[in-house]
Amino acid sequence: MLTPRVSHTALEGFRWCVRSQFRPDGARYAAAMARRVTVPVLQIHGEADPWVPDRVARASARWCDAGHVHRTLSGVGHFPHQEAPQHVTDALLDFLDE
């Protein structure tokens, strides 16, 4: 956030969500986000994620109509694909093999 222009870029998504509420692009986004997921979902979550608690991650399963598999990786934080790439790869391969 101390690097020039990083804070502006990092916060742009939040600003867009507020600004777009009453615009056509915001309505299209809200409609897309309200649809349920109709394909099988693999959710990989880091047990040590300081931003998204495991119970919150697991609660997203209610949006999945075609199956939801949740994998929690021990000792991994918010970025499992960077922190434990081999474990993520293994989980993906297992999921695709089912």
**Nearest Cα to Cα of residue 66 among 32, 90, 89, 42:** 42
Q: Residue 17 and residue 12: Cα distance in Å, rounded?
A: 9
pLDDT at 61: 95
Q: Summarize pLDDT for 43-91 with one digit per residue, the tens.
A: 999 999 999 999 999 999 999 999 999 999 999 999 999 999 999 999 9
pLDDT at 80: 97
Average pLDDT rounded to a whole number, residues 1-26: 85
Q: Report the DSSP beta bridge partners of residue 71.
A: 44
Cβ count within 10 A of residue 85: 10
pTM, rounded to two decimals: 0.73
Higher pLDDT, 92 or 25: 92
Cβ count within 10 A of residue 30: 12
Residue 1, pLDDT above cutoff 80: no
